[in-house]
Amino acid sequence: MYKCPGCGAPLRFDPKSQKLGCMFCGRQVDPRDPTLAYANEAEGQTPVGGTQYDSQTGEQEYAALAYVCPNCGAKLLSTEETAATFCSFCGSNVVLDERLDAESAPQRIIPFKVSAQECAEAYKKRLSRAFFAPSSMKKDSEIAKFRGIYMPYWIYSYSTEGMVESDGSVSHRTGDYIIKTNYRLYQQVSGRFSGISYDASSSFSDTLSEAIAPFKAESAVPFATSYLSGFYADVSDVPAEVYAAESEDVAEDFFVDNVMKDPAYPLHGVERTKVRNRMPVRVRVEEKGYFPVWFLSSRTHDNKHINYAVVNGETGKVAADIPVSFGKYLLFSLLAAIPIALFIWFFIVESSEMSLSPMNLIMLAGFVSVAFFFMMNSGLNQAYARENYLNDKGYLKRFGKPNEGSMPFARKLRYLLKPIIGIAAVVVFFLWQPNEDLYYYIGAAVSFVMLILSVLDLVRIHNLRVQQPIPQFKKRGGDENA
């Protein structure tokens, strides 16, 4: 904890003024003021917040209090004694274990610009558009659990220097001849691209970090531990190599795009791939950065999964897993069904030439069933990807891939069986072509009953898509040697 030079009370970083403010006397201090003092300076020990050079790893380290969740093993760092009574990653209400820890210090930090109050307002605004969201999500006591966490990111920088040599050709027709001219273009390039960033924590899913991107990596300032006052930091456990190839691709594309802006390239028929293959992308600098994220997790109804909500602490962009409440959804569906049924009856059936003949009806049922089948299948694949972190390179690197690349069909069948029965009923009556209208009505009825049941499954699948299993950081091994 940093203490106020005036009165000795704790200082907190204030996103509005970008200064450390005293809650007691109102004094403001620059976060990098060299005279800032820690409250717990003890003899012989590095005080919390203090930094030291680790001669073994060659890294700068800072001393922090580590708060470890006894349930899921997730670790959060802080520079002050707080009574942490809930876990931001698994959503459980527990007192987190506390211990002194040394963490490798980032080179840069983007200080929080969005205050706790602004975060809550942005989130409430997002929820106000979510009509089917469970009311429990909108409670102030729930929203108060947003925690300001600095998430570790890797920031990559690339440069290019040298000669790009590329070939092209242009053909044109003169009379009976096609004349092809070959060209070789040379261009001297020199450039730098920095600020490509990827999150370096396996506890922060890439799905979430992408949803609230981008951060302006160029607005990062040199790190000082005082910025953490009043906030937390997540541990970085994803090595920088994980995103090396990906970030190099981004940089390469950027350099090639700039070179290709020269009209000489299209004019002489030089293809983009030719330039890309010759692009001399060399030097890479990796820096660790702390980026500000407001973080909230809540348990789902079954108490086995988590819905996350995150707010970009620099821009205020919100990303939230919003489940659909069955109660609200059914009520709405019933209320909406009455006017829709009346509308169809009066305006389409009564007043139009088109009739709901048995044949038309069964075809309609078939089309809708096929559409449902594909919607459900794609939703289930998305749910599986989320559940197994398939889009999260950092997580997969640390915990490994699941055995199956996509959801096993046997598990999907629980949902897909209904549209399949619906489709089968339509196909049977279509092939059979009975003379009695009644049979067509039976086929269509079977199909529509399956569709009505499937609507509830669609809600279930939506809820699967926006949830993650409760994380287990300690049980899956990794580099946690606590």
Q: Which stretch binds Zn ion (CB under 5 A): 2-10, 98-106, 159-167, 311-319?
A: 2-10
Is position 88 an interface residue for Zn ion (rule: CB under 5 A)? no
CB of 88 to Zn ion, least distance (A): 8
Burial class of residue 307 in the structure, from the number of CB atoms within 10 Å of its CB (0-12 exposed, 13-18 middle, 19+ buried): buried
CB of 168 to Zn ion, least distance (A): 58
Tokens of 406: 């996509």
Q: Which amino acid is at 472?
A: Q
Is position 299 an interface residue for Zn ion (rule: CB under 5 A)? no
Q: Which stretch binds Zn ion (CB under 5 A): 64-72, 257-265, 293-301, 313-321?
A: 64-72
Which of 14, 48, 68, 71 touches Zn ion (CB under 5 A)? 71
Is position 342 an interface residue for Zn ion (rule: CB under 5 A)? no
Tell me the C-alpha to C-alpha distance, in Å, between residue 169 and each of 176, 273, 305.
19, 14, 58
CB of 7 to Zn ion, least distance (A): 4
**DSSP, res 92:** -
Is position 348 an interface residue for Zn ion (rule: CB under 5 A)? no
String marking each residue 375-414 x if it binds Zn ion according to CB under 5 A = ----------------------------------------
Residues 54-62: contacts with CB within 8 Å, 24+ apart?
54/102, 54/104, 57/104, 59/104, 59/105, 60/104, 60/105, 61/102, 61/103, 61/104, 61/105, 62/102, 62/103, 62/105, 62/225
Q: Closer to Zn ion at the Cβ: 23 or 100? A: 23
Is position 25 an interface residue for Zn ion (rule: CB under 5 A)? yes
Burial class of residue 313 in the structure, from the number of CB atoms within 10 Å of its CB (0-12 exposed, 13-18 middle, 19+ buried): buried
Is position 306 an interface residue for Zn ion (rule: CB under 5 A)? no
149/389 Cα distance (integer angstroms): 21
Is position 474 an interface residue for Zn ion (rule: CB under 5 A)? no
- What three-state secondary structure class fits 137? helix
CA-only gyration radius of the chain, Å: 29
Q: Closer to Zn ion at the Cβ: 32 or 475? A: 475
148/115 Cα distance (integer angstroms): 9
CB of 369 to Zn ion, least distance (A): 42
Which of 72, 77, 362, 461 touches Zn ion (CB under 5 A)? 72
**Nearest alpha-carbon partner for 74 in 88, 60, 58:** 88
In the region spanning residues 244 to 283, those forming contacts with Zn ion, defined by CB under 5 A, are none
321/304 Cα distance (integer angstroms): 15
Whether the upstream peptide bond of residue 15 has omega within 30° of 0, thus cis, is no
201/375 Cα distance (integer angstroms): 32
CB of 39 to Zn ion, least distance (A): 12
CB of 207 to Zn ion, least distance (A): 19
Q: Closer to Zn ion at the Cβ: 25 or 413? A: 25
List CB contacts of 382: < 8 A, sequence separation 6 or more.
465
Is position 24 an interface residue for Zn ion (rule: CB under 5 A)? yes
58/54 Cα distance (integer angstroms): 5
Tokens of 319: 């990303």
CB of 84 to Zn ion, least distance (A): 11
Q: Closer to Zn ion at the Cβ: 85 or 117? A: 85
Is position 6 an interface residue for Zn ion (rule: CB under 5 A)? yes
CB of 145 to Zn ion, least distance (A): 13
Q: How many residues bind Zn ion (CB under 5 A)?
A: 15
CB of 25 to Zn ion, least distance (A): 3
Is position 87 an interface residue for Zn ion (rule: CB under 5 A)? yes
Q: Which stretch binds Zn ion (CB under 5 A): 20-28, 35-43, 295-303, 371-379?
A: 20-28
Is position 151 an interface residue for Zn ion (rule: CB under 5 A)? no
Q: Which stretch binds Zn ion (CB under 5 A): 53-61, 63-71, 116-124, 293-301?
A: 63-71
Is position 296 an interface residue for Zn ion (rule: CB under 5 A)? no
Which of 20, 29, 69, 318 touches Zn ion (CB under 5 A)? 69
Q: Closer to Zn ion at the Cβ: 75 or 465? A: 75
Q: Closer to Zn ion at the Cβ: 9 or 424? A: 9
Q: Which string of b and e fits 140-161 if b means at least 16 CB within 10 Å?
A: eeebebbbbbbbbbbbbbbbbe
Determine contact, residues 297/88, Cβ cutoff 8 Å.
Answer: yes
Determine contact, residues 468/305, Cβ cutoff 8 Å.
Answer: yes
Is position 470 an interface residue for Zn ion (rule: CB under 5 A)? no
Is position 29 an interface residue for Zn ion (rule: CB under 5 A)? no
CB of 8 to Zn ion, least distance (A): 7
CB of 296 to Zn ion, least distance (A): 13
Kindly state the helix (H) or strand (E) to which residue 148 belongs, with its residue range: strand 147-174
Is position 4 an interface residue for Zn ion (rule: CB under 5 A)? yes
- What three-state secondary structure class fits 304? coil
Residue-by-residue DSSP string for 446-481: HHHHHHHHHHHHHHHHHHHHT-EEPP-TTTT-SS--
| Residues in touch with Zn ion (CB under 5 A) | 4, 6-7, 9, 22, 24-25, 27, 69, 71-72, 74, 87, 89-90
